[in-house]
Amino acid sequence: MEKKYIENKYYKNLKEINYKQIQKNNNNIEINTQTFLEIFTKIIQKNTPKEKFGILFSGGIDSLLIACICKNLKLNFKCYFAYVEDLGKPKDLEFAEYACEKLNLELVKVPIKYTEMPKTINYVLSQIIMENYIDVISGLPIYYACKQASKEKIKKVIVGCGADELFCGYAKFKDAEDINSLSLNLLKKMEKNNFYRDWKIGELNDIEIIAPYLEKEIIDFSLSLKKEQKLTKKQNKIILRNALKKILPDKKLYERKKTAAQYGGNFDKGVDKLARQARCQGKLEYLNLLKQENNLKLGALYSSGKDSNIALWHMQKQGYDIKCLISIIPETNDSYMYQKPNLKIIIAQSKALGIPLIINRTKGEKEKELKELKQALIEAKKKI
């Protein structure tokens, strides 16, 4: 992980969640819709810039609530909605247009052709390693919206990231015995998946991502709620819907069912069509094909043990091209960074895998080990 990302406050918030402490701290808090609105309003007021900023907007509960609060605070912002225009009118576009007309908001529509997507997917995959095709596809509307915002000299964009994890936005919450445990598991995954992707996509476009749902106060508040304040048999995100109803009493909007961005903007449909045109057996095969065509060459830090072998296998399974193994061999048994592997085994494994091996030795001195790793990477780049 990049140092800048590890220092990001949202990453730290996700990393430092302590559910038991949250329960203890919130025992005496009176929890209701008005309390949530007051907390969320203060967070948005505190974290939004004075200059014009953007909101990634779909007309859904998460982004609409943010936009309503920003409107009431008289902040200076635009709403951005990216979509694939040549595969029928997207579901979310109707809601985005209706909501912006209702609130008199500026909506910047960012239409793209589905044939533009392979080039963008290749670029995003070359910059961000993602584990599955859903992460790739759901990142596309964020990428195109941020790219347009950047063209318009916008420097900060608000996203609704975290609302689904905190307020039971996914169908899997209906069958969960403990919704807070499920929330915690999903939030932990966000550290290296969803939020990392959004943050990185923002960075690629010189955009700072603001994620108010991932502020510590909202995480604490959400995990102190009772199940019925988040979820019923008929509806999810109860407290968010009630908060929106207070500000904008329009049933069409506050009762709207959730649609994921990749579906609501036709991006999933676009990738599906591209996959069929390429005669692939589904979207995953198509995205793996793009990875191979993108020719992203990876090296694997390799000790011959189970951890590095599983990591190697996992990346190959995702369609990445592993061009070499890189092994650092300590001369002592007390290296600060590296295990001392059996060199004969590493050489045999390299031959069995059919992947070239780059070897560099280290004396095991704490600060010098990083420089020796750097030399191994430089050698790998030159040779491979």
207-226 pLDDT, tens digit each: 999 999 999 999 988 888 88
Residue 280 domain flag: no
Residue 278 domain flag: no
Residue 291 domain flag: no
Residue 134 domain flag: yes
Q: How far apart are CA 98 and CA 78, in angstroms?
A: 15
Residue 281 domain flag: no
- Look at the chain and report how many structural domains it folds into: 2
**Helices in the chain by DSSP H: which ranges?**
3-6, 9-15, 19-25, 33-47, 61-72, 91-103, 117-127, 133-151, 163-166, 179-190, 194-204, 216-223, 238-247, 251-254, 261-264, 267-277, 283-294, 306-317, 343-353, 368-383
Q: Are 303 and 266 contained in the same domain?
A: no
Domain-terminating residue out of 237, 272, 307: 272
Q: Are 266 and 302 contained in the same domain?
A: no
- Per-residue confidence (pLDDT) for residue 237, from 0 to 100: 92
What would the mean pLDDT of 64-84 be, rounded to a whole number? Answer: 96
Highest mean pLDDT among 7-11, 87-91, 326-330: 87-91
| CB contact at 8 A, 231 and 40 | no
Q: Are 325 and 265 contained in the same domain?
A: no
- Per-residue confidence (pLDDT) for residue 158, from 0 to 100: 97
**Mean of per-residue pLDDT scores for the chain:** 87
Q: Are 36 and 152 contained in the same domain?
A: yes
Q: Are 307 and 256 contained in the same domain?
A: no
Question: Is pLDDT at 59 greater than 90 in this prediction?
Answer: no
What does pTM read for this prediction?
Answer: 0.77
Q: Are 227 and 354 contained in the same domain?
A: no
pLDDT-based confidence at residue 28 (cuts at 50, 70, 90): very low
Q: Are 217 and 309 contained in the same domain?
A: no
- Per-residue confidence (pLDDT) for residue 43, from 0 to 100: 96
Q: Are 170 and 69 contained in the same domain?
A: yes
Q: Are 64 and 208 contained in the same domain?
A: yes
What would the mean pLDDT of 317-326 be, rounded to a whole number? Answer: 80
Question: Is pLDDT at 362 greater than 90 in this prediction?
Answer: no
Domain-terminating residue out of 226, 256, 272: 272
Q: How far apart are CA 312 and CA 144, in angstroms?
A: 31
Domain-terminating residue out of 272, 305, 325: 272
**Residue percentage of the chain with pLDDT more than 70:** 91
What would the mean pLDDT of 347-369 be, rounded to a whole number? Answer: 83
Q: Are 215 and 361 contained in the same domain?
A: no
- CA distances for 170 relative to 56, 87, 235, angstroms: 20, 26, 11
Residue 109 domain flag: yes
pLDDT-based confidence at residue 305 (cuts at 50, 70, 90): confident
Residue 236 domain flag: yes
Which domain does 261 fall in, by range? 3-272
- Per-residue confidence (pLDDT) for residue 129, from 0 to 100: 74
**Residue percentage of the chain with pLDDT more than 90:** 45
- Per-residue confidence (pLDDT) for residue 20, from 0 to 100: 62
Residue bearing the bigger pLDDT, 104 or 16? 104
What would the mean pLDDT of 299-309 be, rounded to a whole number? Answer: 87
Q: Are 127 and 256 contained in the same domain?
A: yes
* pLDDT one-digit tens code per residue, 242-282: 999 999 998 999 888 878 888 899 999 999 999 999 999 98
Q: Are 267 and 304 contained in the same domain?
A: no
Number of Cβ within a 10 Å radius of residue 173: 20
Residue 82 domain flag: yes
CATH code at position 248 = 3.40.50.620
Assigned token pair, 251: 């049933």
